[in-house]
Amino acid sequence: MEKNTAPSSPSERILSSEIPSHLDQTVMVEGWLHNLRLFNDFAFVVLRDRHGVLQCVISSPDQLEIVRHLQMESVLRVRGKVIKQQNSEDRYELQDARVEVLNAVEEALPVIINKKEMNLHPDTLISNRPLTIRNLHQRAIFKLHGLAQQAYREYMVSQDCTEFFPPTILTGSSEGGSELFSVDYFGKEAKLSQSAQLYKQICIGAYERVFAIAKCFRAEKYATSRHLTEASQYEFEMAFVESIDQPLHFLQETIRTMVETIKEKGKEELELLGIKLLDVPPTIPQVTMQEAQEIVYKESNGKQDDRREPDMSPEGERLIGEWAKREYQSNFVFITHYPRKKRAFYTLPTPSNPELTESYDCIGGGFEIASGSLRINKYEDLRQSAIDKGILPETIEDYLNIFKFGMPPHGGFGMGVERFTQAILGYHNVREVTMFPRDVNRLKP
């Protein structure tokens, strides 16, 4: 591990964030050439490290020559004395800086990354990811994205959940849902997992409460602003639940913890991005799908009518999101009790109305970010449900067999990792919050 004490020796690197506590001391910093403002007899070298940027003032002719022809993003080591900037109480700089070039960039950058707004096409942004990730805005997005994942883990662990890692190379489909990617597996055909569903259900048989941050792959040519072919999911499953209230409460508190953690630990990044996160209300509004469709109908003054549809339309999701924001100051809303025909065969039907299910989605930022349900836990019921859905039990034998050996009542959810970040930060395209997105036409970088 690195030493984490504040060094006082000039031979030891300090970070830009530590500068204020070294006033009047000579320090050494390392980082990238973020900007260079050159004058006749002096220059401002702006250095960027993992915490921020620092202005260094070059004033001697020999040092000026070193810096004069440097390209941006060259790697530098700079020594100088920490002083307060002229006419400023809270800004610091290095005086009489001496520069050592650790790795000079030899050619012009393909994109400008030291401006606040890069103003690039999404395609250019991603194709140049090795560079654009260094942009302060871009860097902040993925810092917050990482904080969300950290918060998810911490909350799950605090609730006595056990983390596990599902496999992604499988023999076939566990849900029979979307298209799967095929991979050559020593001459046999294997599939990439589209969901950790099977494995999290297996795991509650031992641990009762489990979670995972799992990759899932969908070989479908969706060309939308919210689909990836390779995505990640916050998976959760808990045993001994009798009502959807339990997993929904879990989901609500998960979201709350994630939002609060980001607000607290991501203060600087949020400020930089100009994003103000809405607090999660004590109770996230919850409506049945039927109620949601009525609300959408009214919200749109009759223009959007999904009331005879078995599901919400994207426009409907957007409208119900606006409704929740206006009526409950909530960025999130739960929709429950979807029709059985829209849900996977393992979803528990509603006892009082078998046409409906004990299921729920979470709408965040105006689109679906999470989905879950109570599950059928008895072998015969599950087998019959598969048959009702037109699935041959023989084709899902491995899955069905789990339920012969004492599966408790259980339920859970899966929440899109990228979509969650997209929802709370309010970005239009999921690729903007995905560092290395994979979609129909993109396999690199």
Partner RNA sequence: GGAGGGGUAGUUCAGCUGGUUAGAACGCCACACUGUCACUGUGGAGGUCGGGGGUUCGAGUCCCCUCCCUUCCGCCA
Residue numbers 19-78 binding RNA by CB under 7 A: 35, 37-42, 44, 55, 57, 69, 71-72
- Tell me whether residue 282 or residue 302 sits nearer to RNA (CB atom): 302
Provide, rounded to whole angstroms, the least separation between the CB of residue 263 and RNA. Answer: 22
Q: How far apart are the first and last CA of the chain?
A: 30
Pick from 140, 357, 431, 433 the residue near RNA by CB under 7 A.
Answer: 431
- The phi, psi pair for 191, rounded to 5°, reads -120, 150
- Tell me whether residue 84 or residue 265 sits nearer to RNA (CB atom): 84
- Strand positions, DSSP E, 179-285: 182-185, 188-192, 209-217, 230-239
Q: Stretches 119-127, 262-270, 327-335, 390-398: which one binds RNA (CB under 7 A)?
A: 119-127
Q: Stretches 21-29, 109-117, 280-288, 398-406: which one binds RNA (CB under 7 A)?
A: 109-117
Token digits for 27?
A: 């320090």
| Three-class SS state of 427 | coil
**Residues 155, 253 contacting (CB under 8 angstroms):** yes
17 binds RNA (CB under 7 A): no
- Tell me whether residue 177 or residue 393 sits nearer to RNA (CB atom): 177
**Residues 71, 2 contacting (CB under 8 angstroms):** no
Footprint (CB under 7 A) of RNA, residues 294-353: 311-315, 317, 342
Footprint (CB under 7 A) of RNA, residues 365-424: 367-371, 414-416, 418-419
218 binds RNA (CB under 7 A): yes
200 binds RNA (CB under 7 A): no
Distance CA 28, CA 108 (A): 27
Provide, rounded to whole angstroms, the least separation between the CB of residue 167 and RNA. Answer: 18
| Three-class SS state of 43 | strand
Provide, rounded to whole angstroms, the least separation between the CB of residue 70 and RNA. Answer: 8
Footprint (CB under 7 A) of RNA, residues 75-94: 85-88, 91, 93
Token digits for 334?
A: 């739960």
**Residues 251, 371 contacting (CB under 8 angstroms):** no
Query: Given its phi and psi angles, is residue 15 left (phi above 0), alpha (psi -120 to 50 degrees) or beta?
Result: beta
Nearest to 423 by CA among 433, 414, 412, 413: 433
193 binds RNA (CB under 7 A): no
Q: Stretches 147-155, 162-170, 275-283, 436-444: which one binds RNA (CB under 7 A)?
A: 436-444
120 binds RNA (CB under 7 A): yes
- Tell me whether residue 102 or residue 440 sits nearer to RNA (CB atom): 440
Q: Name the maximum alpha-carbon separation found in the chain.
A: 85
